Structure 1
């Protein structure tokens, strides 16, 4: 008999996991169809993700051209007893280049999470803000504990497969 899963408890763990993250992996596809991954700091404001990247970064041009971007957060290996069951969350997102002006609420979140002095410096350089709107996702907490992230209904749905 399978143990009942408390979705509210899982959702609370999901939110705590995201709030504890400062950087993510971005996965994109280049013009030749080759995969490209990169890491970058991020913030989450009102359910959307924001990354602030330099125009000379390899992923800048790819972000500008992308229709979709995957954003991945993975638990630190130092606190992961089994790497096959590492806590992780992945979202497929629609990117939007916002530039460097306005969006003070987003920059305030960056200041709080990533050092205000550093952000002040970066804002004088060639950095630019991108908004990543999640369309769908998956949250994994361990074996048999995978959840579809239902963005529209702001909930998690346990993924169950037939083991036959």
Structure 2
């Protein structure tokens, strides 16, 4: 099946998942290379995630030191049919810090405020809050067992999307001596 047909099939499902969640999990690395997991409320515009983070938060420090990170948006476990096969989409992203003097700053704040309300406007007026644009580079969408798709290239669906067919394999029985 062509990449376009696959995207046409799973694209609406990915969009629905992203629309249904208000926060994402964010994995970044410290200056020493230690992984750090956190979360942040997000909004989407122009195929990118926007997050507003305090500069004292570990993930904000990490993104400024190393802009490569991973994002996960996952179905709520209470509503999942199967805990081990929750609907989820993950992305490898490159973080861009947006200067508050840049026109993109207000556009990003507006997108976040439209989704999360007046608190965003208030936080954006505090000097320690930084706006990051998380630009997807590649990703993976998992619908359940044996139903996973990978995508490469920029954007929420990438430029190429493929069904991952090299899935689970049975464990070989050990030879008894």
Is TM > 0.5 for Structure 1 vs Structure 2? yes
2:108 pairs with one of 106, 110, 124: 106
Quote how far apart the aligned CAs of 1:25 are. Answer: 0.8
Residue 166 (structure 2) aligns with: 161
Stretches of structure 1 that go unaligned for 5 or more consecutive residues are 1-5
Quote how far apart the aligned CAs of 1:137 are. Answer: 0.5
Contact 1:11 / 1:156 at 8 angstroms: preserved in 2? no
Residue 91 (structure 1) aligns with: 91
Residue 37 (structure 2) aligns with: 37
Quote how far apart the aligned CAs of 1:121 are. Answer: 0.9
Residue 133 (structure 1) aligns with: 135
Give me the TM-score of the superposition, normalised by structure 1: 0.88
Contact 2:31 / 2:66 at 8 angstroms: preserved in 1? no
Answer with 1 or 2: which has the greater Rg: 2
1:78-134 CA-to-partner distances (Å, cap 9, x unmatched) read 11121110011110011111133432322221111101x212210121211011111
Instruction: Within 5 Å, give how 1:2-151 maps onto structure 2.
Output: 7=6, 8-101=8-101, 102-103=103-104, 104-115=106-117, 117-125=118-126, 126-151=128-153
Quote how far apart the aligned CAs of 1:41 are. Answer: 0.8
Structure 1 pair 67–112 and aligned structure 2 pair: CA distance change class (3 A) = closer
Distance 1:82 1:110 in 2: 31
CA RMSD of aligned residues (A): 1.8
